[in-house]
Chain A
Amino acid sequence: SQQGEEDPQALSIQEGENATMNCSYKTSINNLQWYRQNSGRGLVHLILIRSNEREKHSGRLRVTLDTSKKSSSLLITASRAADTASYFCATDSSNDYKLSFGAGTTVTVRA
């Protein structure tokens, strides 16, 4: 069973626009990570945010974490065609190292 749920399931935006997707999870976490997956490829790590952090930036990416609401958001600013991919949030817990993934948000950036 999957720990996280991403919202929306799919997102289509124009190049240059911002893309925002959300992730909700069910149990207490240690870290929350966001990964990108291009069609037919493996997962690429984007950013990790710890449970005691509220916001983190990396290039055009901004991640927020609200542990009281058990939710996170990923913002991609000034999107490019190359950002077209599926985005997954993944959580771990203090009990073990395995990652629990959501079902993902599929983002399409139109040129």
Chain B
Amino acid sequence: GAGVSQSPRYKVAKRGQDVALRCDPISGHVSLFWYQQALGQGPEFLTYFQNEAQLDKSGLPSDRFFAERPEGSVSTLKIQRTQQEDSAVYLCASNEAGSWETQYFGPGTRLLVL
């Protein structure tokens, strides 16, 4: 079956631009996670949804970062007024509800802010 998909795969933005990154989780997966991975580092947690409810946004680095999942399936991570330090790979993962089990990751969106 289809895995987690993300789009775009690559995004170049000028400093100050707004960007929107999309995640399509595995069908039927209730939990959805966003992670940020800087070059040479492991992923760091940003935010977590269960259905449409954003249950944890403790990892969002600033109020320029906003995530939504209005219908409990597709999610969008929006970054306003991008800064160079936002350059990273943004990974989305999903799994079944309320589960400490495997998270299935998408290929990521590589964001470069110039």
Contact = CB atoms under 8 A, between A and B. Distances in A.
Interface of A: 2, 4, 30-31, 33, 35, 40-45, 48, 88, 90, 92, 96-104
Contacts of B91: 42-43
Interface in B63-98: 91, 93, 98
Given A31-B100, A92-B100, A44 B42 contact: no
A103 B41 CA distance: 5
Given A43-B91, A44-B105, A97 B100 contact: yes
Contacts of A104: 41-42
Interface residue range, chain B: 20 to 34
A31 B103 CA distance: 12
Instruction: Tell me whether chain B's interface is mostly helix, strand or loop, or mixed.
Output: loop
Contact of B42 (A31, A92, A96, A102): A102
B99 A101 contact: no
Instruction: Tell me whether chain A's interface is mostly helix, strand or loop, or mixed.
Output: strand
Contact of A101 (B40, B42, B48): B42
Nearest to B95: A97
Which of A2, A30, A43, A92 has the most chain B CB atoms closer than 10 A to its own CB? A43
Nearest to A101: B42
B42 A88 contact: yes
Given A99-B43, A101-B42, 19 more contacts: A2-B44, A31-B101, A33-B102, A41-B107, A42-B91, A44-B105, A90-B42, A96-B48, A97-B48, A97-B100, A98-B45, A98-B48, A98-B56, A99-B33, A99-B103, A101-B43, A103-B40, A103-B42, A104-B42
